[in-house]
Structure 1
Amino acid sequence: MAKHYTILHNQFPSRHTETLVAMAVYHKDRLDWVCQAVRSILSQTYTDFVFFVILDGEVPAKMVSELKDFAFQDNRLVLAQNEKNSGLAASMNHALEWGMTLSPEYFARMDADDESVKNRLERQISYLNKHRNIAVLGTALTEFDEQGRQVGSRTMPASHKQIVHMLPRRCSLNHPTVVLRYQVFHDGYRYDSDLNNTQDYFLWIELASQGYVFRNLKDKLLNFRRVNDFYKRRGFSKSVNEFRARLRAMRQLSRLSLFNLVYACGVLTLRVMPAKLVKLAYRIDRHFLERFVKH
């Protein structure tokens, strides 16, 4: 595989780590939020990890400087840069390929505008160590707005059966919260770098169809940033990819039904409606999801 990124800083002292945490940074990311995200990982109660932060193309010089300062202060942070803006899937694939040499057990996701709760990794890694059959572990999350005010939460179905049952209708894991066993990648699976969005949804469908076991913790272990344009950002391309993912899930998981087809078409129609209607639908969805999960 051709290498399309450069290591800017790597003083990680070990040849092995239990967990690789990966985060991509873009030129439009807010510096204060990126710093908050980095601090939330470096201050985790769990410590056996390397934190691979990849700059996806050119980013402001101030951002690079701040991240290098973090790397000099904590040698668990490895800083890399893509030759050009390649997208989240390619960035995560670069991170996991780089991490192969460290023989990690786990691969943890992090986003540059979110904040991990202090015991997030300890809680997830401990759970995975005790439940060896689980390959993909997500958690619930708390939603905050740009001013740091709590505006909601998102609790996904807990059991493998529920998660897979819902896949033809929705992506039933919160991607920024997920920790995967590295064995998944040793088995040859990767994010689809041809997709500009919904890469996680397609990956979960592929893994579910191959029998990998999923689980969601109900603990809210991530503070998710729901910015003002959150509803507008779900544009036509993302809507079409979500529709394609639902159709694939129906086929690969043998869940093709009139209800699932109508649901997929309904969501696609909703996505192109005004942001106010999308926002209302989002709130209704959260309400029914919470009720479903509680049962």
Structure 2
Amino acid sequence: MMRDTPDVSVLLPYRNAARTIEAALTSVLADDSASIEVLAVDDGSTDDGPARVAALADSRVRVSSSRGRGLVAALELARRHARAPYLARMDADDLTLRGRFGRQRDALNRRPELGAIGTEVEVFADEGAPGEGMARYVAWMNGLTSPADHRRELFVESPLCHPSTMLRASAVEAVGGYRDGDFPEDYELWLRLDAAGHALAKIPEVFVRWRQHAGQTTFADPRYRPEAFRALKARYLAPKLHRRVRPLAVWGAGPVGRRTLRALEPHGVRAARFVDIDPKKIGRIARGI
């Protein structure tokens, strides 16, 4: 019998995940390191995924439907119905390892400054090995553990793997929950939590197996295109740059440096100079400077 108030609410939105959702849910329910409830939200499936969820017949799983309104709507539906002080994310095609929920709960209990804590992840592919770029990204992400690490690298890339993350429910509520827009909903939330003073961290141990396949959102959704990331970073980086004392110098006058400055300019950020070691660029004008 589940306690009246669980330690952790697991947010699990899914759509057409019949092939993987049983394994994903079974891995979640096998972790007895914390009392949990699972908010399984069907976002308009046309396969038998919902029937497979129902067939598990576990009282800890609460089912609902967001009627195909999208991932953020499904996440918010789950979040609003969650009863626990901590929210763990899980995707329908990944696997959670035993001990995850207890370790993350305990870390959030001990460290009130944390708004979110992830874990290291092990990436695997349906066919063959993950690509070299994904392997480099996971190695970089897994190497960030402390709040200082995450703060330093926050504007490089998303430093937390969403389905490995546990969030403090009160912090997420205070910053307005998940938002929908032309950006990755998880990275936008990390930036918003940071802007509100909530630290991010990671347990230096693998607790999630992160599946990679050609049809997943990371590869297919236009919200993950480079321009969307640049615009999102600029929105949250600009206020930090406005607090600077020294004039702003952009290191690198190549395409990345120029595009970054172009994204910052609508937010009132102006640079004094570009810095580059390429003799062909030295002395030339870029972005009017």
With structure 2 as the length reference, what TM-score do the two structures score? 0.76
Contact 2:87–2:169, Cα closer than 8 Å, also in 1: yes
* Superposition misfits of 4+ residues, deviation over 3 angstroms: 12-15, 147-154, 228-232, 234-237, 263-266
Structure number with the bigger relative contact order (C-alpha 8 A, sep ≥ 6) is: 1
Contact 1:156–1:174, Cα closer than 8 Å, also in 2: no
- In the alignment, residue 90 of structure 2 is paired with which amino acid? M
- In the alignment, residue 17 of structure 1 is paired with which amino acid? P
**Superposed CA offset, 1:161-180 (max 9, x none):** 22122222211111111101
Q: Which residue is equivalent to 1:78? A: 62
Alignment of structure 1 residues 33-72 onto 2, 5 Å: 33-60=20-47, 62-70=48-56, 72=57
Q: Which residue is equivalent to 2:265? A: none
1:95 counterpart = 2:58:
no
| In structure 2, distance between residues paired with 1:116 and 1:34 | 12
**Superposed CA offset, 1:129-157 (max 9, x none):** 22232221011100111048687554141
| In structure 2, distance between residues paired with 1:33 and 1:263 | 41
Aligned residue among 106, 116, 124 for 1:126:
106
Q: Which residue is equivalent to 2:219? A: 233
Q: Do the aligned partners of residues 115 and 244 (structure 1) sit closer, same or farther apart at CA in structure 2, a change above 3 Å counting?
A: same
Q: Which residue is equivalent to 1:243? A: 230
Q: Which residue is equivalent to 1:112? A: 92
Contact 2:66–2:73, Cα closer than 8 Å, also in 1: no
Q: Which residue is equivalent to 1:17? A: 6
Q: Percent identity?
A: 20
1:262 counterpart = 2:266:
no
Gap runs ≥5 in structure 2 = 261-289
- In the alignment, residue 213 of structure 2 is paired with which amino acid? V
Q: Do the aligned partners of residues 258 and 116 (structure 1) sit closer, same or farther apart at CA in structure 2, a change above 3 Å counting?
A: same
Aligned residue among 172, 192, 202 for 1:216:
202
| In structure 1, distance between residues paired with 2:85 and 2:5 | 10
RMSD: 2.8
Contact 1:22–1:51, Cα closer than 8 Å, also in 2: yes
- Cα offset, 1:231, TM superposition: 10
- In the alignment, residue 165 of structure 2 is paired with which amino acid? V
Q: Do the aligned partners of residues 236 and 81 (structure 1) sit closer, same or farther apart at CA in structure 2, a change above 3 Å counting?
A: closer
Which structure's CA Rg is the greater one?
2
Q: Name the stretch that deviates more: 117-126 or 236-245.
A: 236-245
